[in-house]
Every structure is written in structure tokens, then in C-alpha cells.
Chain A
Amino acid sequence: GESVGLHLPTLSVQEGDNSIINCAYSNSASDYFIWYKQESGKGPQFIIDIRSNMDKRQGQRVTVLLNKTVKHLSLQIAATQPGDSAVYFCAENRYISDSGYALNFGKGTSLLVTP
């Protein structure tokens, strides 16, 4: 079936380094993607989104890259800080029925920032 998946379950980076979190998707019709950050025991928080008519989008310290050819997107975090430690999920907008859409989530990557 179609799914959203992540290449690595955990990622450890040193404070100040850049982090790259990867995500693969299998539905070539997917046209909208979101990255969420989830801290322990809390609900996911929106980080950044990108539509399929774009290859790159930048936010504050974060950049999302979309490669439609290989159905891959990545989240880059610049100058990673201890507060960035969390689980990161990619999600794709998914058509459910004539009633509308929901988000399909990957399993998540745990990012650990070490001093």
C-alpha cells in the first residue's frame, strides 16, 4: 500500500551542527507535505510545509527539500540546538473520499542533540 516512511529511526547530532532528516513517500500523486515536531508527551507541532510545485522552502533555521523524481523529502535544521531534540514526522496530504483529506504520517525520526 501507499505509505510515508523515514530512512532512519534515530539521529544523534552535536549542538551547532546541521541536521538532516529524510523521508520517502510512495504515492506519486501526493502534492502536499508537512513536517511536524513532537516533544515527549505532547502533541505534534507544525514546522514547515511544501507543495509539489516547489523544490525547496525555507523557514527559520529549517529548510525542506522535495525531490519528486525519487519521491523523497528532507528536513534540514541549521545550527541544531538542544531544544531541537524531539521526534520529527513527515506527513503527506491524503485523499480519503469526497468528504476530504487527512494527513498520512510516517513513523518518525528521533533527533538527539548532544552538547
Chain B
Amino acid sequence: QVQLQESGPGLVKPSDTLSLNCTVSGYSISTGYYWGWIRRPPGKGLEWIGSVHHSGGTYYNPSLESRVSMSIDASKNQFSLKLTSVTAADTALYYCARERRDFDYWGRGTLVTVS
């Protein structure tokens, strides 16, 4: 069974960089698929942030592209998200997920507050 688990600081200061990791179990991420990040601000809907391919290629939501970077660490079976210059608008529940254009496996999410 594929499982994903987000990890990282729950509190980030304005203008700092938000960094999250997603550890995958039950599947080797170097085998295939894209691996994505999605967030849900309080009281709002879901927003796709971007995805990283198992080979390292990336594509991002244009609304966030200037501040986002993603990468894969196959040795740890992890992928990561960095979001720079955060503001209160980046406060959200952040999910990682396996992407096949839809998202078939998700983590439980981690709340990141910018304050």
C-alpha cells in the first residue's frame, strides 16, 4: 500500500522560505509517476502547487512559479517543496500526493502557518 507523509515546520515567518518533505513508503519514487503538492488555505478550496517527475523534471502552477521549487531525493524515497518569500496568504494545509494527472494517493496533510 502506497503511503505518503508530509513533514516540516508548522510555523514560518513572513518573507522566509517554507520547506516541506514528503516521505513515500510502499513504492519507490524513482520507478515512475509525478509527485505533487496541493494546498488548502483555511476556509478555501484546493490549489495545485506543482509536481516533480521521478526523473527530476518539474512543472508548477504559474501563479506560484516564481517562488516554488521541487526536487526528488530517491535515496530517501522523498520529494520536497520550497516556497520562498511567504506571506500570510501562504498559510494552508499542505498535502503531498502521487500524480497520474489525477492524484491517487495522498498524505494526511501538514498545517503551515505564516506568522
Same complex origin of A and B: no
